[in-house]
């Protein structure tokens, strides 16, 4: 019986021990589950906060990137606008300056000065295209070559002289760099294109001189000429098969007489120098005493300006300058220079030592 109680007691002790261990294990398991539940409850909040922080950072980063992109875009846009404005300005300047200037492929050479020699007369012509924007105004020869002075709005691309095409290259055709360029032939300045303008032909800033050299070609009269410009089919700018006549300059004479008013015997021996300035830059000088005359022959038709070197103590009674003309109506013109002593004393006015005077008849 005692052994039975002992066994039962031992069993109870073991059961209590096992029960205690189970309770401990259960408690630990419960704590673990609670901790896991707490962790599970905490993690989403922290993750949510972290995700919100990340999203906020990303949003800020995006805003920064967008802001930077916007600034870069605005800067690039401003730079592009400036570049386009610069390009437009460059193109505008280039257009203003080179409507008249030629491209690299041009057959013409642009020059700032047109200066040519001549061993013949320079013939003044007036051959116009239908629009009047292309005009042949001068023709001359030098060492067997024919030269044509042309005013045109557009660049000249083709020339046909007497049914033969002219070889145009940088040596045979030159175009003025702008409308103010002067054309000089045989040291005579024919001026800018404005010297040939009239009421029906007013030139703009794109008109300019072109000089065409036709190698080995005699200047016929009349001759047939075609000029085509860089303007599509021409639109009235082309000169097509026009016949040009180079009329030889006509010539006349000018007789000059010097006359003194109330001269003394000594005054009659006094010499007076007269200068005559004629067409094509020619200058003639004559020296005459009282009642002496001289006749200049073979003078080309045109205007002649007469000036006198007045000796001391004398004056011309007509003024300071006189222009006479030799033409079909007056091919043999005459003028009389009238001078008079200013004073008879030892002293004289320095203003009368040298004067430009008018000669009159």
| Percentage of the chain modeled with pLDDT above 90 | 33
With cut-offs at 50, 70 and 90, classify the pLDDT of residue 320.
low
pLDDT of 222 higher than 80: yes
With cut-offs at 50, 70 and 90, classify the pLDDT of residue 267.
confident
Q: Which of 126-130, 132-136, 221-225, 343-347 has the lowest mean pLDDT?
A: 343-347
Report the chain's terminal Cα–Cα distance, integer Å: 188
pLDDT of 264 higher than 70: yes
pLDDT of 245 higher than 70: yes
DSSP assignments along 110-142, one per residue: EES-EEE--SS--EEEEEE-TTSSEEEEEEEEE
Tokens of 42: 């905490």
Look over the chain and give the mean of its residue pLDDT values, rounded to a whole number: 76
Q: What pLDDT was estimated at residue 86?
A: 53
- Going by the DSSP 8-state scheme, the letter that residue 193 receives in this structure is G
With cut-offs at 50, 70 and 90, classify the pLDDT of residue 360.
very low
Q: Which of 38-47, 121-130, 142-151, 218-227 has the lowest mean pLDDT?
A: 38-47
Evaluate whether 119 touches 143 at the Cβ level (below 8 Å): yes
Which CATH number, 2.60.40.10, 3.30.499.10, 3.30.230.10, 3.30.413.10, labels domain 251-352? Answer: 2.60.40.10
356: buried, middle or exposed (CB in 10 Å: 19+, 13-18, 0-12)? middle
pLDDT of 348 higher than 90: no
Domain assignments of the chain as residue spans, ordered by start: 1-98, 109-244, 251-352
| Cβ neighbours of 155 (radius 10 Å) | 21
Q: Which of 57-66, 228-237, 277-286, 313-322 has the lowest mean pLDDT?
A: 57-66
State mean pLDDT over 319-329. Answer: 81
pLDDT of 353 higher than 80: no
Q: What pLDDT was estimated at residue 257?
A: 93
pLDDT of 176 higher than 90: yes
State mean pLDDT over 291-304. Answer: 89
Mode of pairing for the β-strands spanning 183-185 and 272-277: unpaired
Q: Which of 245, 249, 229 is nearest to 237 (CA)?
A: 229
Q: Which of 147, 151, 159 is nearest to 128 (CA)?
A: 151
With cut-offs at 50, 70 and 90, classify the pLDDT of residue 124.
confident
Q: Which of 2-11, 138-147, 210-219 has the lowest mean pLDDT?
A: 2-11
DSSP assignments along 306-319, one per residue: EEEEPPTTEEETT-
Q: What pLDDT was estimated at residue 91?
A: 45
Q: What is the pTM of this model?
A: 0.49
State mean pLDDT over 266-285. Answer: 88
State mean pLDDT over 169-182. Answer: 94
Q: What pLDDT was estimated at residue 76?
A: 57
Encode pLDDT of 86-110 as tens digits: 544 444 444 444 444 444 456 778 8
Q: What pLDDT was estimated at residue 308?
A: 85
Q: What pLDDT was estimated at residue 282?
A: 86
């Amino acid at each position: 019986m005692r052994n039975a109680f002992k066994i039962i007691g031992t069993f109870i002790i073991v059961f209590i021990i096992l029960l205690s261990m189970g309770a401990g294990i259960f408690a630990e398991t419960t704590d673990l589950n609670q901790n896991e539940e707490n962790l599970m409850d905490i993690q989403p909040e922290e993750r949510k906060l972290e995700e919100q922080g990340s999203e906020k950072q990303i949003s800020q980063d995006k805003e920064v990137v967008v802001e930077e992109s916007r600034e870069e875009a605005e800067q690039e846009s401003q730079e592009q606008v400036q570049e386009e404005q610069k390009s437009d300005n460059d193109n505008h300047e280039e257009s203003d300056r080179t409507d008249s200037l030629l491209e690299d492929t041009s057959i013409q050479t642009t020059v700032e000065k047109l200066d040519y020699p001549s061993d013949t007369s320079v013939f003044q012509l007036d051959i116009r295209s239908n629009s009047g924007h292309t005009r042949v105004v001068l023709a001359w020869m030098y060492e067997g070559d024919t030269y044509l002075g042309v005013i045109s709005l557009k660049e000249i691309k083709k020339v046909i002289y007497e049914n033969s095409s002219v070889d145009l290259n940088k040596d045979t055709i030159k175009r003025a760099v702008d409308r103010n360029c002067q054309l000089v032939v045989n040291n005579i300045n024919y001026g800018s294109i404005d010297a040939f303008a009239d009421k029906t032909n007013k030139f703009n800033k794109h008109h300019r001189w072109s000089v065409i050299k036709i190698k080995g070609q005699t200047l016929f009269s009349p001759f047939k000429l075609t000029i085509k410009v860089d303007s599509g089919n021409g639109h009235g700018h082309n000169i097509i098969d026009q016949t040009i006549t180079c009329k030889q300059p006509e010539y006349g004479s000018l007789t000059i007489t010097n006359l003194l008013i109330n001269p003394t015997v000594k005054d009659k021996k006094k010499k007076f120098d007269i200068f005559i300035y004629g067409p094509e830059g020619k200058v003639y000088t004559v020296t005459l005493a009282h009642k002496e005359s001289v006749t200049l022959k073979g003078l080309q038709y045109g205007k002649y300006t007469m000036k006198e070197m007045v000796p001391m103590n004398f004056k011309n009674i007509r003024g300071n300058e006189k222009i006479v003309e030799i033409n079909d109506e007056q091919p043999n013109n005459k003028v009389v220079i009238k001078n008079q002593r200013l004073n008879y004393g030892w002293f004289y006015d320095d203003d009368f030592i040298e004067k430009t005077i008018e000669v009159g008849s």
